[in-house]
């Protein structure tokens, strides 16, 4: 009989908290292990035996001087991209997080958090939706409860949710509201509107409907793994326009017969979208050039698997 699977809920230096069908436990992990929150593992009760293949992963690209990329969270189905209503979100920042979420292999859902603070809620909603074509967008306030019932639809057995966004976006407040009691510490944003990096570890939290949610520290932006696939998924408008360009390798710059620049000229596509796309494409190319081939292969395999994979059931089964 194969040993039962457990789910990694939290990792501290040298140890991991696991959720199992028969309660929680803590194991030692070997130095250099690339274990991540959300991983499914087998153990002998004390030590890690094996990590199950990951269906999806959010990855931090190797920083200079490091040889290996770091898996931040694993096996996520739905990524909540938390975008606070205040200060007014920058479209490029939303596009970047959405591309990152797609690239993980999961499906992004944009949450316009702190909706109680929005001055022009409808305009804000429309603007954010324009930066996330094809994604569901929900305005929510964890403070007043406004819009929160819509999120219950995501809390179903077997689903793994993850919330990402900059520090102070309200991720932990949202996690607590969904969990039903305080699981994560929360603190006020600074007077300049920036967060305080209150959450410093990733943590998997069970939700009442049978899903689990992974709360994460505020993203500082740079250094996260984005590849062509994620950028293409975040820009379906540009991707589909590009099929009408005369040249298949069109850079949508000064090429004749470019359907993308034509769409900008006609007002169909905001120029800003193309600029944002270009920036992310460059970033993806840069990451690909300096990443190791092994990880790149693993990511490609994950992409193929997730696009074909049927959802499995049971909160404590991969
Ligand atoms: N008005 C209002 N404030 C909120 C809401 N949600 C969160 N906040 C406030 O925003 C501040 C930051 O919230 P956190 O939940 O700590 O933000 P976070 O995204 O987890 O931040 P980090 O852990 O630093 O990444 C706190 O003062 C919260 O009370 C909301 O829906 N409405
Ligand atoms: Mg937090
Ligand atoms: Zn073109």
Tell me the DSSP string of the chain: -PPPEEEEEEEETTEEEEEETTEEEEEE--TT----BT-EEEE-SSBEEEEPPPS-EEEEPPPTT--S-EEEEES-SEEEEEEESSSPPPHHHHHHHHHHHHHTTSEEEEEEE-GGG-SSHHHHHHHHHHTSTTS-EEE--TTT-TTGGGGGGG--TT-EEEEE-STTSSHHHHHHHHHSS--S---PPPTTS-------S-EEEE-TTS-EEEE-PPP-STTB---HHHHHHH-HHHHHHHTTSSSTT--SSS-TT-HHHHHHHTTSS-HHHHHHHHHHHHHHHHHHHHS-HHHHHHHHHHHHHHHHPPPP--TT--
Cα 252 to ligand 3 centre (Å): 4
**pLDDT, position 224:** 77
Q: How would you classify residue 97: left for phi > 0, otherwise alpha for psi between -120 and 50, otherwise beta?
A: alpha
Q: Higher-confidence residue: 300 or 312?
A: 300
Q: State the ligand closest to the CA atom of 249.
A: 3
- Residues 20-27 have a mean pLDDT of 89
Tell me which residue has its CA closest to atom 16 in ligand 1: 186
Q: State the ligand closest to the CA atom of 174.
A: 1
118 lines ligand 1 (CB under 6 A): no
**pLDDT, position 262:** 97
Of the candidates 215, 244, 278, which is a domain's last residue?
A: 215
Tell me which residue has its CA closest to atom 4 in ligand 1: 114
CATH code, domain with 38? 2.30.30.140
In this structure, the answer to whether residues 193 and 253 fall within a common structural domain is no
Report whether 174 contacts 161 (CB < 8 A). Answer: no
Rounded Cα distance, 210 and 218, in Å: 25
| pLDDT-derived band at 50, boundaries 50, 70, 90 | very high
163 lines ligand 1 (CB under 6 A): no
Which residues on adjacent β-strands are paired with residue 12? 15
Residue 195 CA, closest ligand 1 atom number: 24
Q: Is 170 a residue whose pLDDT tops 50?
A: yes
CATH code, domain with 146? 3.40.50.300
Residue 175 CA, closest ligand 1 atom number: 15
Cα 219 to ligand 2 centre (Å): 10
Please report, rounded to a whole number, the percentage of residues in the chain having pLDDT higher than 90: 69
**pLDDT, position 311:** 38
Rounded Cα distance, 250 and 257, in Å: 9
In this structure, the answer to whether residues 241 and 190 fall within a common structural domain is no
**pLDDT, position 314:** 36
Please report, rounded to a whole number, the percentage of residues in the chain having pLDDT higher than 70: 87
How many other CB atoms are there within 10 angstroms of residue 292's CB atom?
Answer: 12
Number of domains in the chain: 3
Rounded Cα distance, 46 and 206, in Å: 23
Rg (alpha carbons) of the chain, rounded to whole number = 20
Of the candidates 168, 193, 215, which is a domain's last residue?
A: 215
In this structure, the answer to whether residues 166 and 125 fall within a common structural domain is yes
**pLDDT, position 228:** 87
Q: Is 312 a residue whose pLDDT tops 70?
A: no
Q: Is 294 a residue whose pLDDT tops 70?
A: no
pLDDT, one tens digit per residue, over 54-70 is 999 998 876 655 556 78
Rounded Cα distance, 232 and 20, in Å: 37
| pLDDT-derived band at 8, boundaries 50, 70, 90 | very high
Q: Is 197 a residue whose pLDDT tops 50?
A: yes
86 in a domain, yes or no? Answer: yes
116 lines ligand 1 (CB under 6 A): yes
251 in a domain, yes or no? Answer: yes
pLDDT, one tens digit per residue, over 207-254 is 999 999 999 999 876 567 788 899 999 999 999 999 999 999 999 999
Which residues on adjacent β-strands are paired with residue 79? 108, 162
In this structure, the answer to whether residues 150 and 24 fall within a common structural domain is no
Residue 144 CA, closest ligand 1 atom number: 31
78 in a domain, yes or no? Answer: yes
114 lines ligand 1 (CB under 6 A): yes
Q: Look up the domain containing 166 and give its range.
A: 74-215
Q: Which stretch of 24-33, 41-50, 68-77, 189-198 has the lowest confidence by average pLDDT?
A: 189-198
Rounded Cα distance, 272 and 277, in Å: 9
Of the candidates 215, 238, 264, which is a domain's last residue?
A: 215
Rounded Cα distance, 6 and 43, in Å: 8
Q: Is 318 a residue whose pLDDT tops 60?
A: no
In this structure, the answer to whether residues 19 and 151 fall within a common structural domain is no
315 in a domain, yes or no? Answer: no
Q: What is this structure's pTM?
A: 0.91
In this structure, the answer to whether residues 128 and 237 fall within a common structural domain is no
296 in a domain, yes or no? Answer: no
In this structure, the answer to whether residues 189 and 283 fall within a common structural domain is no
**pLDDT, position 310:** 37
Q: Is 300 a residue whose pLDDT tops 70?
A: no
Q: Is 261 a residue whose pLDDT tops 60?
A: yes
In this structure, the answer to whether residues 139 and 211 fall within a common structural domain is yes
Rounded Cα distance, 88 and 118, in Å: 9
174 in a domain, yes or no? Answer: yes
Residue 169 CA, closest ligand 1 atom number: 19
In this structure, the answer to whether residues 137 and 189 fall within a common structural domain is yes
Residue from 173, 193, 195 whose mutation best tests the ligand 1 pocket (most atoms within 8 A of CB): 173
In this structure, the answer to whether residues 128 and 236 fall within a common structural domain is no
In this structure, the answer to whether residues 137 and 244 fall within a common structural domain is no
- Residues 289-304 have a mean pLDDT of 66
CATH code, domain with 283? 1.10.40.50
202 lines ligand 1 (CB under 6 A): no
Q: Is 181 a residue whose pLDDT tops 70?
A: yes
Q: Is 277 a residue whose pLDDT tops 70?
A: yes
pLDDT, one tens digit per residue, over 97-153 is 999 999 999 999 999 999 999 999 999 999 999 999 999 999 999 999 999 999 999
**pLDDT, position 98:** 96
Report whether 55 contacts 305 (CB < 8 A). Answer: yes
79 in a domain, yes or no? Answer: yes
In this structure, the answer to whether residues 16 and 95 fall within a common structural domain is no
171 in a domain, yes or no? Answer: yes
Q: Higher-confidence residue: 171 or 292?
A: 171
């Amino acid at each position: 009989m194969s040993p039962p699977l457990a789910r990694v809920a939290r990792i501290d230096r040298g140890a991991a908290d696991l959720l199992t069908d028969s309660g929680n436990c803590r194991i030692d992990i070997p130095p250099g292990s690339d274990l991540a929150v959300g991983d499914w593992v087998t153990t002998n009760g004390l030590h890690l035996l094996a990590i199950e293949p990951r269906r999806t992963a959010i990855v931090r690209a190797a920083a200079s001087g490091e040889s290996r990329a770091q898996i931040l969270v694993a096996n996520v189905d739905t990524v909540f991209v938390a975008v606070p209503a205040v200060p007014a979100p920058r479209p490029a920042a939303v596009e970047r997080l959405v591309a990152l979420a797609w690239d993980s292999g999961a499906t992004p859902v944009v949450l316009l958090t702190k909706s109680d603070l929005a001055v022009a809620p409808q305009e804000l909603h429309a603007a954010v939706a324009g930066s996330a074509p094809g994604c569901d967008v929900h305005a929510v306030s964890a403070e007043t409860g406004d819009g929160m019932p819509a999120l219950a639809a995501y809390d179903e057995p077997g689903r793994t949710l993850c919330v990402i966004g900059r520090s102070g976006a309200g991720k932990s407040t949202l996690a607590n509201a969904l969990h039903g009691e305080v699981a994560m510490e929360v603190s006020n944003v600074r007077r300049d509107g920036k967060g305080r990096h209150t959450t410093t570890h990733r943590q998997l939290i069970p939700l009442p409907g049978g899903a689990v949610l992974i709360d994460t520290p505020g993203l500082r932006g740079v250094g996260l793994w984005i590849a062509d696939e994620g950028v293409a998924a975040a820009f379906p408008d540009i991707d589909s326009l590009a099929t009408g360009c005369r040249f298949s390798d069109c850079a949508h710059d000064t090429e004749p017969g470019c359907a993308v620049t034509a769409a900008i000229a006609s007002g169909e596509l905001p120029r800003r979208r193309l600029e944002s796309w270009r920036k992310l494409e460059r970033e993806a190319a840069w990451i690909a050039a300096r990443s190791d081939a092994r990880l790149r292969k693993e990511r490609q395999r994950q992409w193929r698997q997730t696009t074909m994979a049927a959802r499995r059931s049971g909160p404590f089964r991969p």
